[in-house]
Every structure is written in C-alpha cells, then in structure tokens.
Structure 1
C-alpha cells in the first residue's frame, strides 16, 4: 500500500525542495509526497514559477522522491473560492486552479486537487443542507472547464476533497455521488481524496454513522487517494500519531484493504502551530512515520 506524506508540515519551515526532500528521505524514510501549494503560490509571476518548477524536478529526481499530486494547502483554502458570493471572486479562484495546473505540469506533477469552495454564512446562523441550485450548477460548469484546462496541460486526474462542513460541497456521501455523476465524461476525470478526520466528524454525522466505512464502501469507484491523520472525531484535528486519538494505524490499514481502497496511496496530513519548535516536529514526525510505515507495509 503506497504511503507518503503531504508537505503541509513544511509550511513556513522547510520551504524549498532542497530542504524538504532531505527531511522526507533522511528523517522520515519516505519517497512519496503530496505537494502543498502553501509552498508555491500559483499566482506568482511566471518567471518565478518556472524556476521553482525546474528546481522541483531536479531535486526530487536527485533525492529519488516521487510527487504523486499537488493539493491547494491552507492559504487558498481559507478563501471561499468557487462558491464565493461574488462571481468575480469565483472567476479568480478558477484562474488560480488553472495556474496551479500549469505549474504542476511544468514540475512533472500529473494530479491536482483540494476542496473547491464555501458558501457564505447566513445572518441567522442556520446552515442549509443543500447548495442553491444555481450555485451548484455554476460549480459543476467550472469543474468541467477546469478539466478542459487540465487536459490541455497534460494532467491525468483532478481531486475533490470532501469536508465536514455544510458550507462546503460535497459533505455527504449522497452529494459526493451526485457530483461524480454530474462531472462524468469531463476532459480529465474528477476523483475523491477522502480524509480520515473529515468523514469521522461526529458533530456533523453523528456518533453511529460508521466512521470511514460507508465513505470507502459507497465511494470506492471514485476514491484514488486518502489522507490519514490522528483525530478525536470531534474536530478536523490533523494531529500526528504521537498524540492520543481514535485512529489506529493497523486498523486503518486493514480497513483500506478490506474495502478495496488499498491500491490508492495514503498520505499523512498533519499541521503544526507556527510557533512550535522545529526539532519537536521532526521528532514527532519520525515516530509517526515509523508507525505508519509499519502499518501500511
């Protein structure tokens, strides 16, 4: 079962491929990564992006590291992206993704993804169960256009990451199935990268919803990558596995094999406070990586 790490832990720390490839290979014993666009902003001028793409190709080749995919990261995720109330902001977000595809192609990365957007909150605080039909139709149209742009860049796959929030889409299995039906036949296939801390969020789904089992069983044809994290099922924690929680790596690996998801790569995705010292992070990641490598072997 391929196991790697999302480079979210590198943000504001090991920010160049010369730095993070050594951490990944020498400290964590890994050779598979998922790039975070917190390390490279697709809206940088082309000359800067071209230079960074070349550096990625060179450094990963020298280190023997494979970049499976690139995800949007936290910075762009904080915006409402392609569900913002202002259509001009949606246009900008669509262009952001298009430029992300361009950079990925130059860097030799063939898959890009992440959450797609969030609607604005209501004044009364009530969160609707469904998107406005016009907003949903607009999102699907943008996904089809983005697939055409990805095809032009030579990409092979695009990801949506479901999140456990009513303001984002999709957040239920039924919505996820409907979205895949609505983007079927796009120029590049859309697939899901599901996250252990998203599908297990009890405040939204309830304590008896089956955790990740229904997500894996019912969306199996559309899942081609997985994020794993330690969490307590109460919030989207993104803890490493030195922290007590409810995710057992051995049980997680067994579930992935039992449901047939196992051929898909699994990426540890963890975040740390910016003020936390680097050495403690490296130590925690070394322990976590060793545990997960053993579980997924």
Structure 2
C-alpha cells in the first residue's frame, strides 16, 4: 500500500564544511533558515583524533545547542576528509589498523554528543599500475573487511550506539558497489552486536558510466534492499558523475518521483538527507539561498 504521510527530510552538514563549523553556527542555519529539524553530522566538522578535552567540549556543544534549537542529530557520517584515505582497505595493514581506531574514536565522540548512529563508506583498495579494475574484492580482502565490521560493531555497542551504516559507492575498488554485493555484506554481518544497515545515495546508484544507461532511478536498489536500508542520501545529479548538486541546479532527479520511489518500496519511514557540496570559494550568501530553496522544494515534494 502506498504511504501518504510526509517523509522525514533532513540535511547532512556537508554544506557547512569550512563555513558554519560549530553548532552555534549551523544549528540556527538549519532550524531558522532551512526550516529543518533533522541533521546528519559530518566528521569534516570534528576530527575524532583531536585532543580529548577539545572533543569533550565539541560533543557537549552539539548535544546542548541542537537540543536548544529543537534539532535531532540522527547520525554522524565520516565526511570527505577521512573518505579521501583508503581506510579499512588500504594496502598497508598498519593504515587499516589506524582507520579502525579512527572509527572507534568516531563512535566514542558520537556517543558523547548524543548521536546513536554512525556510518559512511568503509574503504577502497589501491589502484593497479595498469589501471585495470577488478569486478569484486579479493575474497581475503572481503573476509578481512567483514571481520573488522563485526569487531567495530562490538565497540559501537560498548559505546551505546544503536546502528551502523555502510554507504555503497559507484566504484569497483570500494565495497559494496552492486546490489548483490550489498545483500551479501548485510547477510554476512547480520549477527553483529549492533545492526549494520545501508545508506544508499541517489547519485551513487544512478551512476550510468558504471551501471549502464538503464540506471536512471533508485528503484532497483530500493526494491532489492529495502529491508536493510536505514537512511538515504538525496542530491541533484545528471547520472554521469556523483554531482551532489542542490535542487536549484537542473538535473535528472525529480523530487516528487523520488518520494514516490521511496514510498512504493516501503521506505516511507526512512529519513532522507540532502547531501550537497560546494566549492570553498563560493560566497556564503548564495549557498544559504540555494540550500534554503532546495529544502523547500524537497519538503513540498515529500509532504
């Protein structure tokens, strides 16, 4: 049966990077300028490896200021800075170990900030010298990744978190990048101490250079994985690259059609987060105007 109640629309704080970098700055922007009360924190705004005293102060500010503004911080995602490293699939085992520690610290910070969910992409294998890209991870690489996911879930439970997310990306060197891979991974971590869920992104599942010209909607991802999806990222894109445009830019994603896809596949209760990025040199006022307009477009389409 098609659901008719409004979808929960929030925003990933990616648009705040190098701009509205503290809760005292981003909370009034989100609540008063955008008219939203749901956010996904980005670790581009707080590095889990900062000194303990700094992290404690930052976490308290997130917890208190968001509450003062009536904002729910649903989850925290790793952000672009940490994503640029190969993380849990780096060819150097010591770097993988460090990425594991980074995530454990991220969990501790989230818990201190009153955030109960953490997620993002998990890592990328290195490119080959000849440029050839395998269709799947080596089984040893995959088994090691699953082992780390199970270990991380134990740590997340100890910190009091309730859910962890994997964000599929449209690259053969990362995992998972196909629906069957995502299903397999969710099955292999089904017994984790804290549930692992997926956070698909509109610009990832529709990346036609990888998936073909038929990848013009998120319907296959939603239909095939609805039971293991815990959140969704939405963006405007052209299906040719992972654009992360706002909805003042012409593109291939129709917000009303997007809402219908979610409802049609039983995802009407799953929060949808706008995730947009801007050049650092772009002026602040135009960004505020574009994000505010986009928030109104999405709220109207998904009401």
TM-score bracket, shorter-length normalisation: over 0.9
Quote how far apart the aligned CAs of 1:45 are: 1.1
Residue 201 of structure 1 corresponds to which residue in structure 2?
207
Q: Which runs of 5+ in 1 are unaligned?
A: none
Aligned ranges for residues 215-294 of structure 1 at < 5 Å?
215-294=221-300
Pairwise CA RMSD of aligned residues?
Answer: 0.6
Quote how far apart the aligned CAs of 1:52 are: 0.5
Deviation by residue 1:256-288 (Cα, 9 ceiling, x = unmatched): 111111110000000000000000100101111
Aligned ranges for residues 129-144 of structure 1 at < 5 Å?
129-144=135-150
* Pair 1:4-2:10 in alignment: yes
Distance in 1 between residues matched to 2:104 and 2:115, nearest whole Å: 14
Distance in 2 between residues matched to 1:238 and 1:208, nearest whole Å: 20
Quote how far apart the aligned CAs of 1:211 are: 2.6
Deviation by residue 1:31-63 (Cα, 9 ceiling, x = unmatched): 000000000000111111011001111101111
Aligned ranges for residues 14-163 of structure 1 at < 5 Å?
14-163=20-169
Quote how far apart the aligned CAs of 1:210 are: 5.3
Give the secondary structure class of the aligned counterpart of 1:191: strand
Quote how far apart the aligned CAs of 1:139 are: 0.5
TM-score, L = length of structure 2: 0.97
Is residue 12–residue 42 contact of structure 2 (8 Å, CA) maintained in 1?
yes
Residue 214 of structure 1 corresponds to which residue in structure 2?
220
Give the secondary structure class of the aligned counterpart of 1:224: coil
Distance in 1 between residues matched to 2:201 and 2:299, nearest whole Å: 18
Distance in 2 between residues matched to 1:282 and 1:159, nearest whole Å: 28
TM-score, L = length of structure 1: 0.99
Residue 4 of structure 2 corresponds to which residue in structure 1?
none
Is residue 207–residue 215 contact of structure 2 (8 Å, CA) maintained in 1?
no
Residue 197 of structure 2 corresponds to which residue in structure 1?
191
What is the number of residues matched between the two proteins?
297
Give the secondary structure class of the aligned counterpart of 2:199: strand
Q: Which runs of 5+ in 2 are unaligned?
A: 1-6
Quote how far apart the aligned CAs of 1:224 are: 1.1
